Structure 1
Amino acid sequence: MKNWVLLRKGGNFTKIGERFHIHPRTAALIRNRDIIGEEAVDRYLNGTIADLYDGMLMKDMDKAVDLLKEKITEGQSIRIIGDYDIDGVNATYILLEGLTGLGARVDYDIPDRIRDGYGLNIDLIDRALDDDIDTIITCDNGIAAKNEIAYGKSMGMSIIVTDHHEVPYEEKEDGTRVFQIPPADAVVDIKREDCLYPYKGLCGAAVAYKLIEALYNVMGKDPEDVDYLMENVAIATVGDVMDLRDENRIFVAQGLEMLKRTKNLGLRALMECTGVNKECLSAYHIGFVIGPCINAGGRLDTAKRALELLCAGTQKEADLLAGDLKALNDSRKNLTEEAVKEAVIQVETTGLKEEKVLVVYLPECHESIAGIVAGRLRERYYKPVYVLTRAEEGAKGSGRSIEGYHMYDELCKCRNLLTRFGGHRLAAGLSLPEENIFFLRKALNDQTTLTERELTEKIVIDMQLPLCEVTESFIKELSLLEPFGKGNTKPVFAQRKLSLLRGRLLGKHQNVLKLEVMDEDHTIMEAVFFGEMESFFSCLSEKYGPDAREQLLSGRGQDLFMDVTYYPGVNEYMGKKTLQITILDYR
C-alpha cells in the first residue's frame, strides 16, 4: 500500500503570483519545490546563461587551467579518458571539442565496460604511455583511482582529474572520515569537502564544460564560442539523472532550446531515426528516447560508437551510426525484459521477498543492464536493490536505492567483502568474489536500519485540484515549471471520489484505458490511464464486486468511485482539442 502525502507548504502565493504574473496555484507549486524568496523564484522562472556560476570557484580549477594552457602552448599530447555512459561520453566530447578549438594535440580513450571496467586503470595508462601521451585528463571518473594515478605520475605523466562522484574515504574508529584525494596534478571534483563551488549537483559533463569555459577565458578566447556544448551538458544531466535544480535547471532549459536547432549531425540523425519531434523536444525525450540509445553503445558494444556519432562529419556517417545505436537499444530492451522476468521469479519464489535489501544474482544476465534491472525491481518492490552478474573475475553488478537508504555509505561498511565499489546515495557499482555474494546479502540486511515506513513508497501530492480548475490557460502556465525530472518533478494533483462513468480499452495490447469521469461538482472530463490494467480492475473488483469491470466497460460505472492522482493536459486529435487528465495513481 502506497502512502499518499499532501504537501502543505505556506507562503503568500497571491503576492508571488502578482509579482511574477502567475496564478497563485503556480506560485504554490514553485514553493512546493523548496524555491523560497523572490530572488530564488526569479532565478527558477527566468534563469539564463548569465546566472551560471564561475567555474574558477571549483577547487583546483586554476591548477587544471594553468597546466592545460602550458601543455597546449608546448604542443604536448593530451589524452581524454572518459566513462562509457551518457555522462562520460558527453563529457569526453565536450573536452575533445573544446581542446581541439584551442589547437591542442588531443585524442581520447574510453574503457570497455566488460574488459576494462569502470574508470581509470593501469591498462589505460599503459596504452597512453605506449602512445607517448604526456598528459591524461579524466572526465566523469578518476576520483577513486588513487593507485592508478600514483602509477601514472611515477611514469612521468601529468594527470588532471575532473569528476563529480563522491570522494572515497576511510572511516576511523571514532567515526571521523579520512578522505582520499588522488595524487593528480589537479583534482576538480565538486564533491571535495574543500571545494567551495556553490552547487554540488553537477554531472561530469557539466564539470568538463566549466573547465573548457575557464580555459577559453585564460587563453584569451571567447567562452561564448563553446556555448553550443551546453546541449551536451543537458543530455548528460538528464541522462545521468541529476537533480534539475539550480544550475542544472538552467543548463537543461538552455540546452533543450539549442538541441531544437542543433548543428550536430549525429544528434539530428538520432532524433530523426527515433521519431523525436524537435519542436516538442523535452527532458522526457532525452531520458527515455535519445539517452538510452547513447547509453546502448557502452552497454552492448563500445561507447566509442556513441562518441563517433557526436563527432560524425557527414550525414551518411551520422545516419549509419544513429541506426546502429537505435538497433542496439532495441536489443538492450529485449535483454532487459528477459532479465527482469527472471529476477522477479527469483524474488517471488525464494526468501528474498522478505528481506529489506534485495541482492539478486543473475549469473547469465548481461552485466551492462544490471543497473536497469535493479531500477525496475526497485520500482516494483520499493526496496534498495543490487543486481549481480557473473563477470570475468567473480561477480559484478549495480545497485539502485530508495529515498531512505544511502547506498554508497552502506557498501562502505562491507568493503572487506568487495573487490571494488563506488557510487553515491541512490546508485552504486560493485565487484566481489562470487563466494561473497551470500555474505554481502547477509551483511547488508543485518546492518540496515530501514523501517517499514521507509519501505512504503510515498506518493507526494502537490494539491487537491477540482476538475473545474483544469483549464487550458492553467495547463499552459504549468509549462513555466519545465524542464521536469528528478528534483523538479511534474506536479501531482489529486481529486477524491471521482465517479468512473464509462471506460474502454485501447491499443493492440489493450494496455490503455480511456475513461469519462465526473467529480462531486458534476464536472465531467476525459481521463486516460497507462498503468497495469489487471491491478486497476482488481482494485475495482475488491471494492465493487466481480462485475465492476463489465459495468465500467459497458458505460454503467456511475456508482464506481476512486480517489486519483493525476496530471492535466490537452489531447489534440484531428485538429480538435479536448481537456484530459492522465491518471497516475488510484485508490
Structure 2
Amino acid sequence: MEQWFIYKKKADFQKIAKQFHIDPVIARLIRNREIIQEDEIRKYLYGNLSEISNPFLMKGIREGIEILKQKIHEKKKIRIISDYDVDGIVSNYILLKGIDNLGGRIDFTIPNRVTDGYGINEHLIEKALKDQVDTIITCDNGIAAKEAVSFGKSNGLTMIITDHHEVPFEILKDGSRREILPPADVVIDPKQKECSYPYPYLCGAGVAFQFMRALYHEMGKDQKELEPLLAFLAIATVCDVVDLTGENRIFVKEGLKRISETQNTGLRALLKVHEMEHKDLKSYDLGFVIGPCMNASGRLDTAERVMYLFLENDMETALVTAQELKDLNEQRKRLTEEGVEQSLEQAEKYLESGDKVLVIYLPQCHESIAGIIAGRVKDRVHHPVFVLTDAEEGIKGSGRSIEQYSMFEEMMKIGDVFTKFGGHPMAAGCSMEKEMINIFRDKINENCSLKEEDFIKKVHIDIDMPIDYLNLDLIQQLSILEPFGKENKKPLFAHRKLRIEKVMVFGKGKNVIKLSLKSSQGTRIDGMIFEEEDSFREKMGDKRLITCTYYPVINEYQGYISLQINIQNYFFTEE
C-alpha cells in the first residue's frame, strides 16, 4: 500500500530562476529539498572544494596529527585497520596513500568478514604486536571497540580511532546520555557530542580524507596532492548511503569529475571491464556497478583483493583481478535472489502473526549478503528487517530499517541480547548466541512502538506536472541537481490519466515494459516500467488509463533523440 503526497512548499520561484539562470521548475525542486537561503542555493548549485570545512574543527584531529608527525619522523611502524565494505576499503586506501606519500612506515589490514568479523579485535591486535607494529589507526570502525582498544593500549600500542558511526552511550538515572568512548590515544569521529565540526554526516572515507588534509597542512605538503583520492572518496560516499548534501555533495561532484581521468591502474581496469571508461559517470554507476563489485570481494572472498587492485601498476594483472571481482558480484547477485525469496516466505508468516520488526533466520545464507537481503525485503514489505544466519561463532545478522524506526537506538535498549552490535538509525549489524534468536525476536517486538500507519510506504512527489510541459532544455537542466542519493533524491513528477496506446515487453526475463502513452492534450511519449510482465498485466487488466510518478530522460538511439519517462509508481483507472 502506498500514500502519495505532493510537496506544496512556497517560494518566489520566478525570482530564484531569474537570479540563478535556471528554469522555475528547477527552483521549485531545490526548494523541496529545504534549500532556501540564497547562499545555500548557490552552494548547492555551484559549491566546490573551497567550501569544505576546516578539518581542524574536528575533535581529535589536532592531537592525532601531533602523534602521526612524531611516528612518521621516528619511522615507527603504523598499521591501518578498516572495515571490509566499500567505505572501509576506501578509508584505508586514503590513509595508506596519504601517509606513505609523507614517508610514513605504513601497512594495512582489512578484517576477513567470516574469520575476523567486523572491525578491530583482539586477534588483529595480537597479530600487530607479533609484527612489531607501534601504532594502529582504525578507519570506518573502532568507535564501539572499547574492549579491543583497551587490550591494545594495555600492550603498549598507540591507538588512533577514526570513525563516523554513532557513538555508543548509556542512559543515566536522570534520563540523560553518557557517551562510551574507547580509551584510545585519540578518537576522531564527528558524531561525538563535543565535536564542533559543522558537517557531521561524512562517511568514514570523508573523515579519513579530512584527517589527511590536516596532516598535509601541518607537514608543509600541498593538499592538492590528495585530490586524485577524491575519485575514491566519491565512490565511498555514494556506497555508504550517507546524506548527499553539503560537503558530501561537493565530494561526490568533485570525485565524479576525476574518475574518468584517474591514473589509478586498478580503478581504470574496474571501469574497463564494465565498459565504462569513456562514460559520463553518475552516482548511480558508483552505487550500483562499481561499489557492488568492491563489496563482493569483502563478502565472498577478502576485501584486501580490492586494496591490492588499487595498488597494482600492471594493467594486465589489474584487468584479471577486476574481471574476477565482476564475476564475484554476479555470484553474489544469484545468492541474494535466492535469499530474498526464502526471506519473503518467512516475512509473510511473521507479518500474519503481528510482528512489527521482522527477524528472519536463514541458517544456510552466506553471512556477507544478509544485509543486502534485509534491505530488499524491507523495500518490499516496508517493515524493519533483520536477517540472521549461522556463523563460525554463533549467529550473525544485519538489519535495515524504515525512516520511522531508529534501529541502533532500539538495539541499545536490548543490548544484553547481543554479544556484539553497532550501526546507524537505518542499518545495523549484530552477533548473538544461537539460543537468543527467539528472545531477540520477542524483545525487539515488545519494545517496538511503530503504528500501522508507519508501515504505509509514502511516495513524495515534487511536482504534479503533465508530460505536456516536458522539453529538452528542462531535462538537461535536471542534471545540475545531481549527484542524486540519500537526502537528495532524484526528482519525482506525476501525471494523471495517461492513455496507454500500446504495450511492448523486452528483456530476457520479460521485465522491461515499454508503454506508448498519450496525454489528454495529445502529447505522445514512451514510458518505461521495470517489472515482470505477468505482474504488470495482472494489475492492468482491461484498463487503458494509467496515473503515474515518473522521472524524465533523454533517449538517444541511432542518432535520434526523443523524450521518455521512467515510471516509478503507478495505478490504473477506469475511463
Question: So what's the TM-score if we normalise by structure 2?
Answer: 0.98
| TM-superposition CA deviations, 1:431-454 (whole Å, max 9, x none) | 111111111111111111111111
CA distance in structure 1 between the aligned counterparts of 2:165 and 2:27, rounded to whole angstroms: 34
**2:40 equivalent in structure 1:** 40
Pairwise CA distance, 1:486? 1.2
Give the Cα–Cα distance (whole angstroms) in 1 for the partners of residues 314 and 515 of structure 2.
48
Displacement of 1:45: 0.3
Q: Which residue of 1 aligns with 2:98?
A: 98
Deviations 1:464-522 (A, max 9, x none): 11111110000000001011111111100001111111111122322111111112222
1:577 match: secondary structure: strand
Q: Does 1:581 pair with 2:562? A: no
Native 8 Å contact 2:81 2:120 kept in 1: yes
Residue aligning to 2:126: 126
1:571 to 542, 551, 555: 555
Shift of 1:175: 2.0
8 Å contact kept, 1:356–1:450 = yes
Give the AA of the match of 1:156: G
State the SS of the aligned residue for 1:500.
strand
With over 3 angstroms needed to count, the CA separation of the structure-2 counterparts of 1:215 and 1:419, relative to structure 1, is same
Distance 1:101 1:353 in 2: 58
> Which residue pairs with 1:560 in the alignment?
544
Q: For residues 33 and 353 of structure 1, do their structure 2 counterparts lie closer, same or farther at Cα, with a shift above 3 Å needed?
A: farther
Structure 1 residues 219 and 341, CA gap change in structure 2 (3 angstroms): same
Q: Which residue of 1 aligns with 2:246?
A: 246
Q: Paired residue for 2:173?
A: 173
Counterpart of 2:279 in 1: which secondary structure? Answer: helix
State the match for 2:434 in structure 1: 434
Match of 2:467 in 1: 467
List per-residue Cα deviations over 1:327-359 (Å, max 9, x = no partner). 111111111111111112222356666421100
Match of 1:554 in 2: none
Q: Which residue of 1 aligns with 2:365?
A: 365
Deviations for 1:194-241, whole angstroms, at most 9, x for unmatched residues? 001000110000100111111010001111111111111101001111
- Unmatched 5+ residue regions in structure 2? none
For structure 1, the 5+ residue unaligned runs are: 542-547, 549-558
Distance 2:397 2:353 in 1: 19
Distance across 2 between alignment mates of 1:353 and 1:340 = 20
Given that 2:512 and 2:532 are in contact with CA atoms closer than 8 Å, whether structure 1 keeps it comes out as: no
2:236 corresponds to 1:236: yes
Q: Distance in 1 between matches of 2:80 and 2:290?
A: 24
What SS is found at the alignment partner of 1:453? helix
Q: Which structure 2 residues correspond to residues 276-315 of structure 1 after superposition, within 5 A?
A: 276-315=276-315
Q: SS of the counterpart of 2:520?
A: coil
Indicate conservation of the 8 Å contact 2:510/2:532, yes or no. Answer: no
Paired letter, 1:261: E
Quick check: 2:87–2:203 contact (8 Å CA) kept in 1?
A: yes
Given that 2:509 and 2:532 are in contact with CA atoms closer than 8 Å, whether structure 1 keeps it comes out as: no
The CA deviation at 1:277 is 4.8
Residue aligning to 1:69: 69
CA shift, 1:574, in A, is: 0.8
Residues 352 and 358 in structure 1, CA contact (< 8 A), matched pair in contact too: no
State which drifts further: 512-521 or 136-145.
Answer: 512-521
Shift in CA distance, 22/420, structure 1 to aligned 2, threshold 3 Å: same
Distance (whole Å) between structure 2 residues aligned to residue 335 and residue 502 of structure 1: 36
User: Residue type matched to 2:133 in 1?
Assistant: I
User: RMSD over aligned Cα, in angstroms?
Assistant: 1.2
Q: Following the alignment from structure 1 to structure 2, what is the Cα–Cα distance between the partners of residues 350 and 76?
A: 55
Query: Contact between 1:566 and 1:581, CA under 8 Å: does it hold in 2?
Result: yes
**What is the DSSP-based 3-state SS (H/G/I as helix, E as strand, rest coil) of the residue aligned with 2:508?**
coil
Aligned twin of 1:544: none
Q: Could you say what secondary structure the match of 1:526 adopts?
A: strand
Distance 1:468 1:485 in 2: 27
Residue 178 of structure 1: how far off its partner (Å): 1.3
CA contact (8 A) 2:203 2:236 kept: yes
* Distance in 2 (alpha carbons) for counterparts of 1:61 and 1:328: 38
Mapping 1:48-59, distance limit 5 Å: 48-59=48-59
Q: Which residue of 2 aligns with 1:555?
A: none
Q: Which residue of 1 aligns with 2:271?
A: 271
Q: Which amino acid aligns with 1:383?
A: H
Distance in 2 between the 1:394 and 1:19 partners?
60
More displaced, 501-510 or 86-95? 501-510
Secondary structure of the residue aligned to 2:160 is strand
Q: Hey, what does 1:476 align to over in structure 2?
A: 476
Q: Cα distance, 1:252 vs. partner?
A: 0.3
Letter in 1 for 2:306: A
- CA offset at residue 538 of structure 1? 2.1
| SS of alignment partner, residue 19 of structure 2 | helix
What residue in structure 2 maps to residue 556 of structure 1?
A: none
Structure 1 segments (4+ residues) deviating >4 Å: 349-353
Paired residues for 1:174-573 under 5 Å: 174-349=174-349, 354-541=354-541, 548=542, 560-573=544-557
Distance in 2, matches of 1:323 and 1:512, equals: 27
Q: Report if aligned partners of 1:262, 1:268 keep a CA contact under 8 Å in 2.
A: yes
**Matched residues in 2 for 1:352 and 1:466: separation?**
40
| AA partner of residue 244 (structure 2) | L
**TM-score, length-scaled by structure 1:** 0.96
Kindly provide the CA deviation profile for residues 553-576 of structure 1, in whole angstroms up to 9, marking residues without a partner as x: xxxxxx711210001111111111
**AA matched with 1:371:** G
> What amino acid is the match of 1:583?
I
For residues 278-322 of structure 1, give each alpha carbon's deviation from its aligned partner in whole angstroms, at most 9, with x where no partner exists: 332111011010000001111011010011111112112211110
Work out whether residues 505 and 533 of structure 2, in 8 Å CA contact, stay in contact via their aligned partners in 1.
Answer: no
* Paired letter, 1:384: P
CA distance in 1, matches of 2:49, 2:527: 39
Give the secondary-structure state (helix, strand or coil) at the position aligned to 1:280.
Answer: coil
Q: Distance in 1 between matches of 2:249 and 2:225?
A: 21
AA in 2 matched with 1:443: K
Counterparts of 2:438 and 2:195 in 1: how far apart (Å)?
Answer: 39
8 Å CA contact 1:347–1:353 kept in 2: the answer is no
- Sequence identity of aligned pairs in percent? 48
Aligned twin of 1:111: 111
Number of equivalences: 571
Corresponding letter in the other structure for 2:348: E
Paired residue type of 1:55: P
